[in-house]
Amino acid sequence: MISDSRTSILPNPPSQTPPSLTADQLQARVLHRDTECFVIDKPAGLAVHKAGRITDHLELYLPHLAGLDGAGPDEEPPKLAHRLDRDTAGCLILGRTPWALKRFGQMFAAGHVEKTYWAVAEGIPEADSGVIDLPLLKRIEPGASRSSWTILPDPAGQPAVTDYRVLGTGADGRSWLELRPRTGRTHQIRVHCAAIGCPLVGEPFYGPERRPPGNLHLLARSVAFRMAFEFAPVSAVAPAPEHMRNALSACGWQVE
């Protein structure tokens, strides 16, 4: 049985305290802001919302972003326009208005938000680039709670497609991957990489070994979108997080 980032079923899982964010710390993570949205650099290890045993999460700190740009103290805090796994770092879009949240919902559903991820994988794909086209099925075992589930490649699942490109390799048999999901299934990149024999470094559930959460080498590197013709295009890029830097460097990445 595999649990998502909300609930761990590892034997005697270690207690983890996601990082709390002060106003200054969260505001320093803003990659883009305008009247309709923010793009922030979410830290790895911080869940985006409350679920299960998680009590410390990003939504608690979103009021720190209200009132920026002279919007006034009565501005509503921004809200999540989409989600990232707890252990995934990088670009996360927040809507500042009801219209923006509705619009982002439409854009994500239509595939009009371009998302690029970086990952470090245990293994090197056979081809330097390619497409992983494997439907994914969310399965809850009979008698298990709804918070414990697994994602499996399955012809009966929902369509899931990921483009990948190898950006570099290391002497340790690892690869630095650029991944562009065409669909947005739960744990899509993680399951797809494992399915081609390249589970992500630090993978707690889909690799050959069960590892404690908190060290997943997956970064939502960039997002790009245009909310409407009257709006300028938006592009935001997140820096490589500290816990991925050594592994990236070993695969040829040069420190920015």
**Which structure tokens are listed for 215?**
């060290």
DSSP per-residue letters across 55-100: --BGGGTGGGGTTGGGT-TTPPPPEESS---TT-EEEEEEESSHHH
Local structure of 247: helix, strand or coil: helix
Torsion of the alpha carbons at 118, 120, 121 and 124, rounded to the nearest 10: 90
Task: Tell me the Ramachandran region of residue 209: left when phi exceeds 0, alpha when psi lies from -120 to 50, beta otherwise.
Answer: beta
Give which of 192, 191, 185, 186 is closest to 159, Cα–Cα: 185
* Rounded CA separation 249/244 (Å): 9
CA distances from 126 to 129, 131, 166, 199, 240 (A): 9, 12, 10, 14, 25
For residue 85, indicate whether it is catalytic. Answer: yes
DSSP 216: -
| Active-site position among 4, 41, 85, 87 | 85
Which residues are designated catalytic? 85
